[in-house]
Structure 1
Amino acid sequence: MIWMITGGARSGKSSYGQQLALSFSDSPIYLATARHWDGDFEKRIERHRNDRDERWTLWEEEKNIAQLAIDNRVVMIDCATLWLTNFFVDNQYDIDLCLRLAKQQIDELTQKVGTFIFITNELGMGVHAETPIGRKFTDLQGWVNQYLAAKAQKVTLMVSGIPVLIKNEEK
């Protein structure tokens, strides 16, 4: 099963995803996709680490999430936005290539058996990006979110800490 949780910054996506994962498993995997960019980002990563207890197994993978041995597990992928950022930077902002690579990873992952909870940002609801690169990334994120939402059985939109189920298809 794929469950996508989307929303704005600080909307409660990760907290809700963690609660959800723990409702499915006593030992879920937290798949962190963040790159350790700088000291400020290290603080953000540390805050997320402190939100989890000993029941969680931490795996870190910047791009190749489908290659991990995660069959029959509950996996929270946090987050698709940072995951896409890694593709975007490594491929010199080529959104066509990044979109193809991301879709390939998603397709391979959906062939596995398990529960996959994707955390992602709904960038298109925010302010218009000022730079051409920012607008390209917003497009990329929007297209990947649409692709994930189409594949997902459940999609939740987080609004001010409140989960709003916007797609519910049982398989």
Structure 2
Amino acid sequence: MIRLILGGDKSGKSDFGLQCLYEGVSPALLLATGQAQDFTFGQQILDHRLARIPEIPVKETGIELPRLLEKSILEYRSILIDSLDFWVFACHEQWEEAQQALLHSLSLVPDEIQVTIVSCEAGLGPIAASSQVRQFVRRLGALNQAVAAVSDEVCLMVAGLPLYVKKA
């Protein structure tokens, strides 16, 4: 079962993703894609780490998300990927191959394994003036659409409330 949780910054998507992970079958794993590039984000990562149940292992993925997901579905029953937007940042020039690899990895998820994926729903605001930001928003939007297409459930978080777009 694949679940995609979308939302804006501070919409409650990571908290809802953790709740889904905690309610899933053990053993559970968190695949974290974000890496601190500045003090503020480092503090946010620390806050998330302190809020989690310490018994659930965390693996930092970088661009290796597809490979780690394939390995993890053999060992864990519930997996949380938080979040696709930071993974898109990590992919850079390998974007096309990385996106195809992730979609292939998701196609290998058995029905009895719960994979919850968190991602920002980008592009709801004004069009960015920077070509780099536009490229990122377009890549993330295309990835979100592709992942939503293979997901059993899609949820949009608004002000901490889940709105189901696609229900299993």
- TM-score scaled to structure 1, two decimals? 0.88
Equivalent pair of 2:29/2:79 in contact (CA under 8 Å) = yes
Q: What is the DSSP-based 3-state SS (H/G/I as helix, E as strand, rest coil) of the residue aligned with 2:62?
A: coil
What is aligned with 1:110?
Answer: 107
Q: What is the DSSP-based 3-state SS (H/G/I as helix, E as strand, rest coil) of the residue aligned with 1:18?
A: helix
Give 1:18 deviation, angstroms: 0.7
- Percent identical across equivalent pairs? 28
Q: What is the DSSP-based 3-state SS (H/G/I as helix, E as strand, rest coil) of the residue aligned with 2:133?
A: helix
Give 1:26 deviation, angstroms: 4.5
What is aligned with 1:15?
Answer: 15
1:55 maps to 2:55:
yes
Change (3 A) 1:127 1:27: farther
What is aligned with 1:94?
Answer: none
What is aligned with 1:119?
Answer: 118
What is aligned with 2:29?
Answer: 29
Please tell me the root mean square deviation across aligned C-alpha atoms, in Å.
1.5
What is aligned with 1:81?
Answer: 85
Letter in 2 for 1:151: V
What is aligned with 1:155?
Answer: 154
Name which of structure 1's ranges 158-167 and 36-45 shifts more when overlaid on structure 2. Answer: 36-45
Q: Distance in 2 between matches of 1:46 and 1:130?
A: 32
Q: What is the DSSP-based 3-state SS (H/G/I as helix, E as strand, rest coil) of the residue aligned with 1:124?
A: coil
Q: What is the DSSP-based 3-state SS (H/G/I as helix, E as strand, rest coil) of the residue aligned with 2:19?
A: helix
Q: How many equivalent pairs are there?
A: 162
Q: What is the DSSP-based 3-state SS (H/G/I as helix, E as strand, rest coil) of the residue aligned with 1:85?
A: helix
Equivalent pair of 1:64/1:105 in contact (CA under 8 Å) = no
Give 1:135 deviation, angstroms: 0.5
Name which of structure 1's ranges 119-128 and 21-30 shifts more when overlaid on structure 2. Answer: 21-30
Letter in 2 for 1:83: W
Q: What is the DSSP-based 3-state SS (H/G/I as helix, E as strand, rest coil) of the residue aligned with 2:115?
A: strand
Q: Distance in 2 between matches of 1:112 and 1:168?
A: 18
